[in-house]
């Protein structure tokens, strides 16, 4: 008899991703996402295999989480000649990944699991794994095993879409997206999707140090104190943020804008524009690596209007700044998910999002959702919050409640429910009436049991 539910004892997960948990493999949000997906599934008791482009000097296979999480560092034989990170030599890695993953997974994981009566959901992330997912499906069909395996391919961003054969991908996999924003982009391509959202670690819900946040506010003396953390990229709406800050200054307020960008050259253009608008700009460097040393460097540089933070900001440092600020500007023009917004909410901060439809953002309930790229909209809402401090308090409280609904355990429960539903549709799981009939068949020698069986199925 087929199982009725997807449970740790009858399900083995296979995750395919270019990025992963190694420092070598962490290039952005994808590595963080797949690491948390894998860890959370393993901690829920599911045996989980994560295939990724791993550190060439680390073990090829490693068991974590009491053996429930198995890391498979793939393409190490290529990575040892490309030591700059996961995307160094990416096309050679992608080609080898696509060729070698499907037969290995079929013979080492899927075939034994199916023989043991277990379910095997395969979750593949981003364009680098699309070819591997398609080949896996095609080879499973040839082996007569395709109906036993659910294959899901997820779009986190639009990067690499030009490399994907969409008709083939739709035929061979169930296509998913990380947000409604990405779902709409995919719909415009003629690709229907399911949404499997991102999440945040439960640890981010810890209370911040209120005394330290109060010190930040007092020493920075920003009116308002603003924070923006993003790559230096036009899509991150840096110009709108800078121009909004300049408008506040022109209107007699004393804004302090803490900016943490990346290594991209566009940062020079943004900061030059700030100076042209009459904002004073100061680079901020730190003598030490600790959170305390870096926070002290920021607080000591508060004479300028724009503080260009030049060092890495640890999560604890960011949480303090998010909570202490009057607003965090996460107002991207292109934002597939918007994880920073959730991190701000978890920290008890006020977040401004762009008009990209973040699933969790509700205007004037838990955030400020901008409708335009007009700097006056930012300045106007900041003036409103200054005149109505109770609104900011309400946004902070509601934001924290929202963030609790997007922790990884919560998100993974929703994922498992979605996968179980799809498995039942394709016949890999028993339908409720099939369970009732099977129990009835087992109980046919004792008619008195039939009523109880029928009631159990209602």
Please give the full DSSP string across 405-417, using - where no structure is assigned.
TTBHHHHHHHHHH
- Res. 3 pLDDT band, cuts 50 70 90: confident
Q: What percent of the chain has pLDDT over 70?
A: 94
Give residue-wise pLDDT tens across range 265-282.
999 999 999 999 999 999
- Cα–Cα dist 54/99, whole Å: 17
Alpha helix segments (H runs only) across 144-290: 166-172, 180-188, 210-220, 238-250, 266-276
Q: Residue 72's beta-bridge partner residues?
A: 51, 61
Average pLDDT over residues 69-76: 98
| Model pLDDT, residue 355 | 80
| Model pLDDT, residue 434 | 55
- Res. 357 pLDDT band, cuts 50 70 90: confident
pTM for the structure as a whole: 0.86
Strand order through the sheet with 281-284: 281-284, 306-309, 256-260, 225-229, 327-330, 351-353, 368-369
- Residue 448: pLDDT over 50: no
> Hey, what are 244's tokens?
């909004």
Q: Domain 203-404 in CATH: superfamily? A: Glycogen Phosphorylase B; (3.40.50.2000)
From the list 181, 231, 177, the residue with the least C-alpha distance to 33 is: 177
Helix, strand, coil % over all residues of the chain, rounded to 5: 50, 15, 35
As its CATH architecture, domain 8-199 has 3-Layer(aba) Sandwich (3.40)
- Res. 457 pLDDT band, cuts 50 70 90: very low
Q: Would you state the torsion angle of the CA atoms of residues 284, 286, 287, 292, taken in this order, to the nearest 10 degrees? A: 140
Strand 194-195 versus strand 47-53 pairing type: unpaired
- Whether the ω angle into residue 231 lies within 30 degrees of 0, i.e. cis, is no
SS3 128: helix
What secondary structure does DSSP assign to 283-331, as a single string? EE--SSSSHHHHHHHHHTTTTSSEEEE-S---HHHHHHHHHHSSEEEE-
| Model pLDDT, residue 458 | 37
- Cα–Cα dist 49/122, whole Å: 9
- Enclosing H/E stretch for 281: strand 281-284
Q: Are 385 and 350 in contact (CB under 8 A)?
A: yes
- Cα–Cα dist 42/408, whole Å: 12
Domain boundaries for CATH 3.40.50.2000 within the chain:
8-199, 203-404
| Model pLDDT, residue 433 | 59
From the list 255, 246, 251, 241, the residue with the least C-alpha distance to 304 is: 255
CB-CB neighbours of 209 under 10 Å: 15
- Cα–Cα dist 104/100, whole Å: 6
Average pLDDT over residues 338-366: 92
Average pLDDT over residues 306-335: 94
């Amino acid at each position: 008899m087929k199982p009725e539910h997807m449970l740790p004892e009858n399900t083995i997960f296979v995750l395919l991703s270019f990025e992963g948990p190694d420092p070598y493999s962490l290039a952005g949000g994808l590595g963080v996402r797949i690491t948390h997906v894998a860890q959370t599934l393993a901690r829920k008791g599911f045996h989980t295999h994560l295939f990724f482009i791993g550190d060439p000097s680390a073990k090829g296979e490693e068991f974590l989480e009491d053996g429930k999480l198995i890391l498979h560092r793939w393409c190490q034989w290529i990575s040892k000649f490309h030591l700059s990170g996961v995307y160094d030599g990416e096309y050679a890695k992608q080609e080898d990944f696509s060729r070698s993953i499907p037969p290995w997974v079929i013979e080492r994981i899927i075939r034994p699991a199916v023989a043991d009566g277990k379910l095997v959901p395969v979750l593949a992330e981003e364009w680098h794994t699309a070819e591997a997912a398609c080949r896996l499906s095609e080879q499973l069909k040839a082996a007569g095993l395709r109906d036993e395996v659910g294959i899901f391919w997820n779009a986190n961003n639009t990067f690499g879409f030009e490399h994907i054969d969409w008709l083939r991908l739709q035929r061979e996999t169930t296509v998913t997206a990380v947000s409604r924003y990405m779902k709409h982009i995919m719909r415009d391509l003629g690709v229907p999707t399911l949404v499997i959202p991102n999440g945040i670690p439960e640890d981010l819900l810890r209370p911040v140090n209120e005394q330290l946040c109060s010190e930040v506010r007092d020493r920075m003396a920003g009116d308002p104190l603003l924070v923006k953390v993003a790559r230096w990229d036009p899509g991150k709406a840096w110009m709108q943020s800078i121009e909004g800050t300049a408008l506040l200054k022109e209107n007699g307020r004393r804004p302090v804008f803490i900016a943490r960008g990346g290594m991209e050259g566009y940062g020079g253009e943004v900061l030059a524009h700030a100076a042209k608008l009459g904002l004073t700009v100061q680079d901020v460097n730190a003598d030490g690596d600790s959170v305390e040393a870096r926070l002290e460097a920021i607080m000591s540089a508060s004479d300028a209007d724009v503080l260009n933070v030049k060092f890495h900001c640890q999560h604890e440092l960011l949480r303090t700044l998010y909570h202490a600020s009057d607003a965090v500007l996460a107002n991207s023009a292109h934002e597939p998910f918007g994880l920073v917004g959730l991190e701000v909410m978890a920290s008890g901060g006020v977040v401004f999002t762009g008009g990209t439809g973040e699933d969790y953002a509700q205007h004037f309930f838990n955030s400020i959702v901008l409708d335009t790229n007009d700097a006056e909209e930012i300045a106007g809402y900041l003036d409103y919050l200054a005149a109505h401090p109770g609104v900011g308090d309400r946004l902070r409280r509601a934001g924290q409640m929202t963030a609790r609904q997007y922790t990884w355990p919560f998100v993974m429960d929703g994922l498992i429910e979605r996968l179980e539903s799809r498995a039942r549709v394709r016949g890999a799981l028993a339908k409720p009436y099939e369970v009732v009939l099977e129990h009835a068949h087992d109980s046919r020698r004792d008619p008195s049991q039939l009523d109880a069986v029928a009631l159990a199925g209602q």
